[in-house]
Structure 1
Amino acid sequence: MSDLTELAGRYIAVWNEPDQHQRAAAISELFTADATYTDPLADVRGHEGIGAVIAGAREQFQGFDFRLLGEVDAHHHIARFQWELVPAGGGENLVIGFDVAVSDGAGKIRAVHGFLDKVPAGA
Structure 2
Amino acid sequence: MPDMNIDAKQVADRYLAQWNEPDAAARSALIREAWTPTAVHVLVNPPEAVRDGAAALAVPAPPLEVHGHDALDARVTRAYEMFVAGGEHVFTVAEEPFVLLPDVIGVRWSMVTADGGEAVGGGLDVLSLDGDGRIRTDHQFIAAA
Indicate whether the TM-score tops 0.5: yes
1:69 to 94, 99, 108: 94
In structure 1, the gaps of 5 or more residues are: none
Max Rg structure: 2
Equivalent in the alignment of 2:67: 45
Equivalent in the alignment of 2:123: 97
CA distance in 1, matches of 2:115, 2:18: 19
Give 3-state SS (helix, strand or coil) of 1:113's partner. strand
CA distance in 2, matches of 1:69, 1:29: 23
Query: For structure 1, which segment, 85-94 or 21-30, has the greater mean C-alpha deviation from structure 2 after superposition?
Result: 85-94
TM-score w.r.t. the length of structure 2 is: 0.76
CA distance in 2, matches of 1:37, 1:97: 14
The amino acid of 2:9's aligned partner reads: T
- RMSD (Å) for aligned C-alpha atoms: 1.5
More strand by share: 1
The number of residue pairs the alignment matches comes to 119
Give the 4+ runs in structure 1 shifted more than 4 A: none
Contact 1:5–1:79 (CA<8 Å) still a contact in 2? no
2:33 to 25, 29, 32: 29
